[in-house]
Amino acid sequence: MHKLNRLIQLLFFAVLVKPLVLIILGLNIRNKKGLPMEGPAVIMANHNSHLDTMVLMSLFPLRKMHKVRPVAAADYFLKNRWMAWFSLKIIGIIPLERTGKADRDTLFNECHDALDKGEILVLFPEGSRGLPDQMSTLKKGVYHLIKDRDDVSAVPIVMNGLGFALPKGEGLLVPVNVDVIVGQAIDHSPNADVFIDSTTKAFTQLKEFCITKQS
């Protein structure tokens, strides 16, 4: 990351994001020590809000921030010049094409480059934001990304509450309590179905530790 962009990123998270997360959102974090502080690694999280990425990145020390790379939809985050600059240069996303035209190897080229550099990817295996605090069926992209990479750990994280703090289609932030539950790395699996099943079970188990879930 260019030095100026990295400085802007540090200021953005130090002055805006971290205070917002700590003051406006009440975080209940379980097993924070399970966060991968060194790559190559993949964080797999559920996805209900644009705040998901900000909260996950805010859990890392500022000195590590440039090594955390969210994987995000190119058609949304690169749709105009300002958003593209902010997403690529400040947040540090890896844009992923959702057109279905790219073959799998090409699709993940930039992800593999980042992992080769020891970076930590943030992926949302549901594929897109769902209803507040409801899990959708997981897609197989993470499996295909790491299936030949025994050097990469895949850590599941369940978040609860952010779908109500800034739900899809809303622009007003609502103060709420939020759970962030970090799990143990998922074992590499012989096929996609086994991996998806293991990950789904891990998400379900982690959800049980959420104190903000609706009864």
Q: d(Cα 78, Cα 168) in Å, to the nearest integer?
A: 18
Mean pLDDT of 31-46: 96
Checking if the pLDDT of 212 tops 90, the result is no
Quote the longest CA-to-CA distance of the chain.
Answer: 47
Q: What is the DSSP string of 163-179?
A: HHHS-TT-------EEE
pLDDT over 60 (residue 205): yes
Question: What's the rounded Cα separation, in Å, for the pair 78 and 94?
Answer: 11
Question: Vertex 136, ends 132 and 138: CA angle to 5°?
Answer: 140
Structural contact between residues 211 and 28, judged by C-beta atoms closer than 8 angstroms: yes
Whether the pLDDT of residue 215 is over 60: the answer is no
Q: Let me know: does 155 contact 45? Beta carbons within 8 Å.
A: no
Backbone angles phi and psi of 13, in degrees to 5: -75, -40
Distance CA 87, CA 57 (A): 13
- Torsion-angle region of 158 (φ positive above 0: left; ψ -120 to 50: alpha; else: beta): beta
Q: What is the pLDDT of residues 81-90, one digit of tens each?
A: 999 999 999 9
Residue 77 has pLDDT above 90, yes or no: no
Q: What is the pLDDT of residues 110-168, one digit of tens each?
A: 999 999 999 999 999 988 766 666 788 899 999 999 999 999 999 999 999 887 776 66
Domains annotated on the chain, with CATH: 3-207 (3.40.1130.10)
Q: Is the pTM of this model over 0.85?
A: yes
Average pLDDT over residues 100-105: 66
pLDDT at 213: 67
Beta partners for 139?
none
Token pair belonging to 60: 């890392």
Structure token digits, residue 5? 């962009």
Sequential DSSP letters for 54-102:
HHHHHTS-GGGGGGEEEEEEHHHHTSSHHHHHIIIIII--EEE--SS-S
Cα(first)–Cα(last) distance of the chain, in Å? 44
Q: 213 or 12, which is more confident?
A: 12
